[in-house]
Structure 1
Amino acid sequence: MPAAALRGAVDLSTLRNRPAAPAAAAPSSENAPSLVFDVTDASFPQVLELSRTVPVVVDLWAEWCGPCKQLSPILEKVVTELGGRLVLAKVDVDANPQLSQAFRAQSIPMVVALLGGQPVPLFTGAVPEQQVREVFAQLLQLAAQNGVTGSVPVESGQVEATEPEEAPLPPHHAEAYEAIEAGDYSRAVSAYEAALAENPRDADARAGLAQVRLLARVQDLDSSAVRAAAAADTADLDAQFAVADLDVSGGHVEDAFDRLLDVFAASSADDRPAVRERLLDLFGIVGDDDPRVLLARRRLASLLF
């Protein structure tokens, strides 16, 4: 992230002079802000001002976004461990359309930073914890180069208080988590498969397995090449599957479902089982109770019968 990245990434000018929100709605200069907080269209000017003192990481997310739910706890953990050298501002894109538009959030999760009131693109999509740590380390270096070296006071015990104690993970889950952090998705898949072999009703292992398989599939994809291949040959199932994977990992869930349902409708009897299997896999990643999954299931059922 060169220093030049501070200029021209996105246009926040329309939000700079917005009337300030009540103090309770955003961090206040008179009271030390939390390390992690929600921000709205109305409270954003205060966040811009805060970024002149301490780097602000902005997490653009939505309740329906499965990858967002995977990434957000990692962001919160790493920011908390840095002890006030960074803060995390969370933006619900559905509730704050002006911020979503200003940051040009075409896919989520999307993570950017603010330094001295200027945006710095970081990454999109769910990434492993180790990559988050590396990016944040680079961000702190860039902040130092640009004179943004303040920090947020952290009360004694605050870091520990933000991390409630949890029961130890079962051995296979712990192995999978460790492998994901290392970017070793094949080992994580094996660990989750072992957990399911021991307990086929382990819902957490089943969900984790689907998510890790998705991460493994998209890890080395060239988005432009894959989308070009899918556009050139609508009967190329591998290309259609790859684009659907990229769409789900980027938060474009409806696009992924519509694509695969259209492919299913046009497929031969021999190809339909593979398309249905991939749809079911993506349904599990997004969540069976998600309204977009329910809608897609109804359309799939109508195509089947």
Structure 2
Amino acid sequence: MAGAVDLSGLKARAEQRSAPPTRPAAGNGAAPPPPAGGAPTGGVVVDVTEDTFQAEVIERSMTVPVVVDLWAEWCQPCKQLSPTLEKLAKEGNGSWILAKVDVDANPRIAQMFQVQSIPTVHVVVAQQPVTSFSGVQPEAELRTWIAQILDALRDRMPGIAEAEARGPADPDGAAEPEPEPEDPRFTAAEDALDRGDYDAAVAAYEQILAVEPANAEAQAALAQVRFMARAEAADPSAVTAADAAPDDVAAQKAAADAELAGGQVEAAFDRLVTTVQRTFGEDRDAAREHLVGLFELFAPDDPRVTTARRALARALY
């Protein structure tokens, strides 16, 4: 997918600074390129902001590949993918860099990469994106994917060979701690999710909850998998259809799912709160229950959830 994303605007503003950006309204088109500046940290795993994108991604991509992990705190699949990428980046010891971007905190970077869903991963080489993928991938496939990238670029990017010559990273000379044994029940659910078998993943998490009803990890994962299945089956025109039929509760629910999948969290919440305000009886209950279900995808203290809960209470009472 080389050339699919134009990062030239980021590079052009390397010397400019501006006030902290605000999230553009949905449907306003491409955002202006984010400011860039600062110096690279030198770490193999870095948290990147709109201010540090130039140094950590654009400049460092001239010597080694930079893998950009676009994620959000509320995204359960992101929490499965990101730790694996971090582990592999540390093992790589600088032969490639992992740049982590919170799309909620850095919306202009997300727009620059034309993010449609998360997790999404792009590889930037010599200031240009060269390949990408979306969704959770097994560790073995990620290892193969990264190895292929390094093999293809080793002759052109001397930083790769220099990092590999240093050998595996072990700055303290201490052995890595033994990982905690994996819960086979969660492993079965995650394997099903990796295969895209949402029904099997739902069944696996439901089995865990049947034995441990208070298992918070299983509760959160179950809510996320159910949402992922709905989002994958959603009609791309769901938002347009819902806007044309404001009294159609099913259409509003589908549009809210589509907006949430695209990172427009506040828009999804606002849509359902408005639907609750304008409906009665079973329609109102359906909209309210759907909204409460979306709240379960986030941490309880997420400020967007807190704000939406207050708005929902006003709409109901």
Q: Tell me the TM-score range normalised by the shorter chain.
A: 0.7 to 0.9
**2:306 aligned with 1:294:** yes
Q: Work out which of the residue numbers 264, 279, 295 in structure 2 matches 1:252.
A: 264
CA contact (8 A) 1:59 1:109 kept: yes
TM-score computed with the length of structure 1 as normaliser: 0.77
Distance 2:108 2:283 in 1: 43
The residue type equivalent to 1:58 in the other structure is V
Which residue pairs with 2:38 in the alignment?
21
The residue type equivalent to 1:178 in the other structure is D
Which residue pairs with 1:88 in the alignment?
98
CA contact (8 A) 1:128 1:181 kept: yes
SS in 2 for 1:177: helix
SS in 2 for 1:119: strand
Structure 1 residues 192, 108: CA separation in 2 closer, same or farther (over 3 Å shift)?
Answer: closer
Map 1:242-281 onto structure 2 (within 5 A): 242-281=254-293
Describe the superposition over 1:198-235 as per-residue Cα deviations: whole angstroms up to 9, x where unpaired.
11111111101001111111123342x22222122123
SS in 2 for 1:129: coil
Q: How many positions carry a matched residue from both structures?
A: 292
Which residue pairs with 1:129 in the alignment?
137
**2:33 aligned with 1:35:** no
Which residue pairs with 1:59 in the alignment?
69
Which residue pairs with 1:30 in the alignment?
none
Structure 1 residues 288, 156: CA separation in 2 closer, same or farther (over 3 Å shift)?
Answer: same
SS in 2 for 1:89: strand
Map 1:136-155 onto structure 2 (within 5 A): 136=145, 140=149, 144=153, 147-148=156-157, 150-151=159-160, 152-153=163-164, 155=167
Higher RCO (Cα < 8 Å, 6 or more apart): 1
CA contact (8 A) 2:37 2:53 kept: yes
Distance 2:121 2:220 in 1: 24
Map 1:154-169 onto structure 2 (within 5 A): 155-156=167-168, 158=170, 165-169=178-182
Which residue pairs with 2:124 in the alignment?
114
TM-score computed with the length of structure 2 as normaliser: 0.74
Which residue pairs with 1:221 in the alignment?
234
The residue type equivalent to 2:38 in the other structure is A
SS in 1 for 2:129: strand
SS in 2 for 1:234: coil
Q: Work out which of the residue numbers 39, 44, 48 in structure 1 matches 2:58.
A: 48
RMSD, aligned α-carbons: 3.8
In terms of mean alpha carbon deviation, does 269-278 or 128-137 score higher? 128-137
Identity of aligned residues (%): 44
Which residue pairs with 2:248 in the alignment?
236
Map 1:193-204 onto structure 2 (within 5 A): 193-204=206-217
The residue type equivalent to 2:215 in the other structure is D
CA contact (8 A) 2:3 2:130 kept: no
